[in-house]
Amino acid sequence: MDLQLSGRVAVVTGASKGIGLAVARTLAEEGAHVVAVSRTPSDALADAKVTHVAADLMDPAAPARVVARAVEEFGGLDIVVNNAGGPPPGTTLPRAGFMTPDDADWAAMFEFNLFAAVRMIRAAVPHLLERGGGSIVNVSSTMARQPSAVNVDYGAAKAAVLALSKSLSAEYAPQGIRVNTVTPGAVLTDWWTKEGGAAEVFAGMVGSDRDSVLTEVAPTMMGLATGRLVHVQEIADTVALLASPRSGSTTGAEFVIDGGQLKEI
């Protein structure tokens, strides 16, 4: 299926690894001009037709610089994928309990997961309107839908992303800008697999080992009907479809990709 993305200009944040890397590569393969945003470039993008822009999204001025670079490089902007999120730089998740994060932890979590997206959208909207519309895809988390005593601040920030997407879709749909949310569950990324990552932290909590957490403990604890963590390409394919004009009547929607974790109606 032709997604009609050839020649369109996309900004993808958090594009050096995991979901963002898969999204950037997928959009580029579909013919889009991709501005891949991350603090450092990724060797995994070396063979992809993307333009890397180094930016620390904890800097309030960074989103405007990124959008300006995309417009300067390619003459406009059609797609924004706010994927950057998770633990802010220097933070290790998971962490248990409401009393664990302090004010600074809460502020950093919202800065990285919510305000960076707010600023990126604020910078992008005028350029999307100049093109007659476009697509914004925000990445949330099932922790926004199924809060727990683990990662309380993260879940709250991602719930705010859901609310933001709904509000934006209502305001800008008449002007041709579609805003949707992709809500991943547990995705097999570096966040889980790296040394000292979530799998090792969980292993220490439950008295298991890293590999068992990835293949058995986490899928069982989280109630994943598929019995496995989600693959990044499964997220990227959904983002690409939402970015496409072929989803022209889809806005204000949330696409949950979680291996069957969320079961409520």
Tokens for 92, please give them.
């290790």
Q: Measuring CA to CA, how many Å separate 172 from each of 128, 245, 264? A: 10, 16, 29
**Cβ–Cβ contacts within 10 Å for residue 165, how many?**
25
Q: Measuring CA to CA, how many Å separate 26 from each of 11, 21, 34? A: 13, 9, 10
The verdict on whether 172 is a catalytic residue reads no
Q: Which of 154, 172, 192, 202 is catalytic?
A: 154
Q: In angstroms, rounded to a whole number, what is the distance separating the alpha carbons of residues 115 and 192? A: 24
Asked if 92 and 196 count as a contact pair (C-beta separation under 8 A), the reply is: yes
Tokens for 150, please give them.
């683990």
Task: Return the active site residues.
Answer: 154
